Structure 1
C-alpha cells in the first residue's frame, strides 16, 4: 500500500449488514461517467435518534435518591469481540472481511478509528450497495481532522452527562479531546458538541412541552385517581400545570394535618417555577402532596394552585399551612383557605429579622405571635416550625430542575413512587402500635423519669421533685407548673 492511494470499499452483504474489502486504485483523473455514477449513488442519511424520556427520567430519579453508583464513564465494549457482526462503533480492530450491522455503525466506526489512529479520509463513493473511502496521505494535518465532527464528539461525551451533578463545560471538552486524541477545536465546536450530547440524552426542551398532554393522559391511565390539570394562554402556551398522584391523595388522611408550601426556580431552557405542597407521615417522613408548574410566582398562580389543592384534598380538622412570608402566598391563603391557620416559617422570619429589622421594625411587630409561636397557635403545629420539608424536597429535585419539563414530571412521579415504596417497607417492619419516632420519645422520657421523685396528692394531681426543684402536675387539666 505504499505505491498509490488506498481505497477501502464496503459492500452490502445480506442486508442490513455491510462487509469490508481493501483494494488499490490509481490517482489518475476520474472520468465524467464515474463522476455521474458517484453523484447518482450519493445519498443523505439521517440516523433515527429515538428519545425515550421516561428511561432517562428513571435514571435521574435514581440519582436524586443517591442510589446510583458513581458513573466511571467506561468505554463501551463488545460482549463478544469474535462476533461476526460488529455493532459497536468503537470496535478496536479494523480488518478485511469484517461485517457491520448497518451503514450508520460503519460510518461511526470509521470516524472513531480515524481519530484514534490520527489519519484522515474522504468518501469516494456512497450508495445503498457500496461505501468507499480514500485515505489522505499528503499534507494530512490532524488538527483539522474532518472526521471529528460536533455530532461525533457529542456521541463520545454523552456518558459525561448521565450524572447531572457532573459539570462539563466546553473548555473541559476541548481539553479532554486534545489530551486523549490530539484534537484541536474552537469553543463554538465544543459548545455544539455539548448541545448535541444533551439533546440526544435529554431531548429538546421545546419539543418536551408538546409531550405534556400525552404524558399526563398516560399518567392518569396507569395511575387511576390521579388529578391533573392544565391551563393555557391565548397563544396556546403553558401557563399552569397541576399534578396530584393517587398515592398522595390516598395517604393524606394518615398524615399530620400540616401542609408546607414553597416554590423554587426551574433551570431548563425556558425557566419557570415549581411549586410544591408537602406533609409528613406518621413516621415523620416527607410526603409530597402536589406539584405545580408556572412561569413565575404571582397572585394569580398561587391562587390557582391553592384552588386546585383544596379541590383535590379538601379541608381537614385542625389543618394548618406553613410557608414563608411571600405576599402572594398570604393573599391566596386568605382567599382560598380563610378558616385555616396560616403559620410562618421561623427560619425565614429570623433571617428577615436580622437583615431588615431596622427598616421594617413596625411591620414585624404587627405579624402576631400566633403566626410563628407554637404556644399561641390556634391549631397544633406538631413541632413543624419551619418549611424544612419543602426545602428538603427542593434539594432532592435540584438535578431534575435542569431537564426538559416532561422529564421533570416523570422524575417527580418516580421520586414519589420510590419514597412511597421505601417508607412502606419500613412501616411493615414496625412491630408495635407506635411509630419508631414516638417509641423513641417515650423511651427517652422514661429514662429521664427515673431521676425524678413523684408524690401523688390524688388521682390526677402529683408533685414532682428533682434535686432542689419541684413541679405540680395536673393530669386532668394537662398542665404543669
Structure 2
C-alpha cells in the first residue's frame, strides 16, 4: 500500500486492557488491536482526543482519556511507554514517528477515566491504580524521547514494586501456589493436589486447572487486581482426593494434559502427524481421545513455544523492523486491505528480501525459479519464494512473500517487487516456473516479457500435466527425454516417436511454444536448468516451519538464509586452501568435458575469427559427427554450447 508519510500515519489503537512488562520486549498490551485508522501529522491534542472519542464511541460526558504510546529504545530494542498530556507531547510523538522512517505501525494506548474520580478502568496494578505522570517530569525529559521512555518506565516499575511490597505485607496469610510447589504430589499420570483451600493463589488459570484436574471436586476462583493472580474464592468442602489415574470419562482427559505428554515430540517435529500423537496419548493415559483434543493439544504446545497465531501477526511488524535495522538494505513491503469506510486496515500481504541475497544475485546466473507453498494454521496463506542458483549449483533464496492465495493479483504483486527490489535494471533474466495461470499472465506484462526477459516451463510439471491429460504409461519419461535434447535433429526423431505413441500430442502442444519447454529451441536462456527442483527442495527444507505462526516462519527463513551464507563461506575457504580456482561444481563439469573430448579431432579453419571444426570420437555406431565451433560467438552446431 502506498502512503504519503508526510501527511498521515496509520495508528493501532488499544483499549480496555492492561500494559504488561516482559523481559523480551519491554512492555506489551494484553488485548488485540481495537481499531486501525489514520491520524494527520500536525494535529493537536484536542483534535486527537476528538478523533478517539468519535472512533471508539466513548461517552465524553462520562469518561476522560489517558493516552500513552509505545516507543522503542534503540540501545536494547525494548519498548517503553510515553504519556501524552498536551500539544507538546503530541508533537513529540509525531517527531518520533517520522524519525523512525517507517510510520505504518505506531501504537496508541487509550485508558478511560471516570470523570470526577480519576479512577483508571484497567485492571493491571502495574499501570492502573495510583500511577500518574507528573507534568514537571514531562517537561524535564521532553528533549529526548528515548530517555523519557525509559524514565517513565522506571517510575511505573518503582510504584509497582511499592504496591507489591504493600500487598505482601498485608496478605501474608495468602499462599502463592505453582505447579512445581511441594503442595503437589506426583501420581502415575498427573500431579495430584493433597489439599486445596480458600485463599490459595495461582499464577495463571492454566496452573489452577492443571492442579484440580482428575476429580469431580469443585472450586470457584477469579483473578484479582490487587495481586494479579488467580485466588480460590470458594470450595465445595475439603479437598483430599487421592486418585492416581484419570478415569475413562471424556471430561476428565483434557487437551492440557495431552499437551504435556506430546510436547517433546512436537518440539522435535512440529509437522508430526496427529495419528502419531494419538498413539502417544493412548500409551500415556490408556484412553483413546478424539482427534479434536489431539489437535487442540498440539496447538497448545505450539502457542506455548511460538506464541499465539493472533499475537504473531501483531508482532510481525516489529520483527520486520528489527530485520531491517540489523540488516541494512533489507527490503520489506506491505499490502493492506481497507474496509468500505477506508478506516480499518487489515493485513493482506508482506514481501521481504534480505540485503546479502540481493547483492549476491548480481554474481549468479540470470535465472530465477519461482514457486508457492501453503502456510498452514488458523489463518492459512501461501508462501511465495524466488530462488537463484549460485556457482556451487546450490539454491540461493532471493525473496519471499506471505500472500492470501496463489492468483493473478498475488503473483503480480510479488513479481513486481522482485523486479523493483531484487532484479532492478538487470535484464536477460529467465524465469522458470510451473504453468500456474497467475504466473502465465504475469509473465506477459511489461517488466518480465520478451525480448528483455524470458519465461520457461518446469519440464517436470509439464510432463505431469501431459500424463494426466492422456493417461498412458511411459509418457512422462518420454516427454522429459524429448524436452532435454540439445540437438534439433534428435528432438525431431523423439518427437515423431512420441506422436506415434500418442497422436493427441500435436493438439496438446499447439498453444505451448517450443522455446518454453524444449532445450533444443531454448536459445541458451535457461542454462540447462529444466526443473524448479531447487525451489521445491527449499520448500521441503522449511516444511516444519509452514505449520508455525507467521513470525516463527519468518525467523526460520532468516535462520536458513544465515546457514546458507555460513555454509558457502566454509566451502569457499576450503576450496581456496586446496588451490581451487573454480567452484567444485564448475571444476567437475570441466573435468567431465575434458574427459569426453579426449578422443575428438580439432581442425582450425579461420584463425582471425577462431572458427574450428570438431569431429567427435567414434564409439561403435555413435560419434564421428562434424560440428562447427565459433569461439567468439560462443556457439557450436552440436547445440550444447
TM-score by length of 1: 0.70
Give, in whole Å, the separation in 2 of the partners of 1:354 and 1:185.
Answer: 42
Structure 1 counterpart SS, 2:385? strand
Give, in whole Å, the separation in 1 of the partners of 2:467 and 2:252.
Answer: 60
Once the two structures are TM-superposed, the CA of residue 355 in structure 1 deviates from its matched residue by 1.7
Give, in whole Å, the separation in 2 of the partners of 1:446 and 1:458.
Answer: 23
Once the two structures are TM-superposed, the CA of residue 351 in structure 1 deviates from its matched residue by 1.3
Stretch moving more, 460-469 or 394-403: 460-469
Give, in whole Å, the separation in 1 of the partners of 2:549 and 2:179.
Answer: 29
Establish whether residue 450 from structure 1 lines up as the match of residue 607 from structure 2.
no
Give, in whole Å, the separation in 2 of the partners of 1:470 and 1:125.
Answer: 97
Once the two structures are TM-superposed, the CA of residue 476 in structure 1 deviates from its matched residue by 3.1
Indicate the residue corresponding to 1:389 in structure 2.
534
Indicate the residue corresponding to 1:412 in structure 2.
557
Corresponding residue pairs, total: 381
**187 and 415 in structure 1: CA distance in 2 versus 1, 3 angstrom threshold:** closer
Stretch moving more, 423-432 or 161-170: 161-170
Once the two structures are TM-superposed, the CA of residue 251 in structure 1 deviates from its matched residue by 0.5
Establish whether residue 283 from structure 1 lines up as the match of residue 283 from structure 2.
no
1:360-410, Cα deviation, whole Å (9 max, x unpaired): 963521211111122322452111111112111111111111111111111
**324 and 184 in structure 1: CA distance in 2 versus 1, 3 angstrom threshold:** closer
**193 and 423 in structure 1: CA distance in 2 versus 1, 3 angstrom threshold:** same
**361 and 239 in structure 1: CA distance in 2 versus 1, 3 angstrom threshold:** farther
Give, in whole Å, the separation in 2 of the partners of 1:194 and 1:281.
Answer: 38
Stretch moving more, 115-124 or 332-341: 115-124
Give, in whole Å, the separation in 1 of the partners of 2:259 and 2:321.
Answer: 33
Establish whether residue 439 from structure 1 lines up as the match of residue 550 from structure 2.
no
Alignment of 1:178-327 (within 5 A): 178-179=285-286, 192-235=296-339, 236-313=345-422, 314-327=424-437
**445 and 405 in structure 1: CA distance in 2 versus 1, 3 angstrom threshold:** same
Indicate the residue corresponding to 2:511 in structure 1.
366
Give, in whole Å, the separation in 1 of the partners of 2:244 and 2:595.
Answer: 82
Indicate the residue corresponding to 2:263 in structure 1.
158
Q: Equivalent of 1:355, from 450, 454, 468?
A: 468
Give, in whole Å, the separation in 2 of the partners of 1:408 and 1:439.
Answer: 36
Give, in whole Å, the separation in 1 of the partners of 2:530 and 2:429.
Answer: 14
Instruction: Extract unaligned runs of 5+ from structure 1.
Output: 1-47, 53-100
Once the two structures are TM-superposed, the CA of residue 458 in structure 1 deviates from its matched residue by 6.7
Q: Contact 2:599 / 2:616 at 8 angstroms: preserved in 1?
A: no
Give, in whole Å, the separation in 2 of the partners of 1:448 and 1:389.
Answer: 27
Instruction: Extract unaligned runs of 5+ from structure 2.
Output: 1-20, 26-174, 203-230, 233-237, 340-344, 471-502
Structure 2 counterpart SS, 1:124? coil
Indicate the residue corresponding to 2:41 in structure 1.
none
Stretch moving more, 285-294 or 424-433: 424-433
Structure 2 counterpart SS, 1:237? strand
1:256-293, Cα deviation, whole Å (9 max, x unpaired): 10011111111122111111110101111100100011
Give, in whole Å, the separation in 1 of the partners of 2:191 and 2:410.
Answer: 57
Stretch moving more, 439-448 or 413-422: 439-448
Once the two structures are TM-superposed, the CA of residue 435 in structure 1 deviates from its matched residue by 1.5
Once the two structures are TM-superposed, the CA of residue 359 in structure 1 deviates from its matched residue by 8.4
Stretch moving more, 231-240 or 360-369: 360-369
Give, in whole Å, the separation in 2 of the partners of 1:424 and 1:242.
Answer: 27
Give, in whole Å, the separation in 2 of the partners of 1:297 and 1:366.
Answer: 23
Indicate the residue corresponding to 1:461 in structure 2.
612
Structure 2 counterpart SS, 1:123? coil
Give, in whole Å, the separation in 2 of the partners of 1:188 and 1:122.
Answer: 32
Give, in whole Å, the separation in 2 of the partners of 1:49 and 1:167.
Answer: 33
Give, in whole Å, the separation in 1 of the partners of 2:304 and 2:23.
Answer: 9
Give, in whole Å, the separation in 2 of the partners of 1:212 and 1:228.
Answer: 12
Indicate the residue corresponding to 1:333 in structure 2.
443
Once the two structures are TM-superposed, the CA of residue 325 in structure 1 deviates from its matched residue by 1.1
Give, in whole Å, the separation in 2 of the partners of 1:476 and 1:428.
Answer: 36
Once the two structures are TM-superposed, the CA of residue 201 in structure 1 deviates from its matched residue by 1.9
Q: Contact 2:185 / 2:193 at 8 angstroms: preserved in 1?
A: no
Give, in whole Å, the separation in 1 of the partners of 2:604 and 2:331.
Answer: 56
**135 and 216 in structure 1: CA distance in 2 versus 1, 3 angstrom threshold:** same
1:44-75, Cα deviation, whole Å (9 max, x unpaired): xxxx99899xxxxxxxxxxxxxxxxxxxxxxx
Q: Equivalent of 2:281, from 161, 166, 174?
A: 174
Give, in whole Å, the separation in 2 of the partners of 1:117 and 1:392.
Answer: 43
**435 and 104 in structure 1: CA distance in 2 versus 1, 3 angstrom threshold:** same
Indicate the residue corresponding to 1:29 in structure 2.
none
Once the two structures are TM-superposed, the CA of residue 230 in structure 1 deviates from its matched residue by 0.9
Q: Contact 1:51 / 1:203 at 8 angstroms: preserved in 2?
A: no
Higher relative contact order (CA 8 A, sep 6+): 1
**121 and 187 in structure 1: CA distance in 2 versus 1, 3 angstrom threshold:** farther
Give, in whole Å, the separation in 2 of the partners of 1:472 and 1:447.
Answer: 18
Q: Equivalent of 1:113, from 160, 172, 186?
A: 186
Once the two structures are TM-superposed, the CA of residue 144 in structure 1 deviates from its matched residue by 7.4
**120 and 367 in structure 1: CA distance in 2 versus 1, 3 angstrom threshold:** same
Stretch moving more, 379-388 or 109-118: 109-118
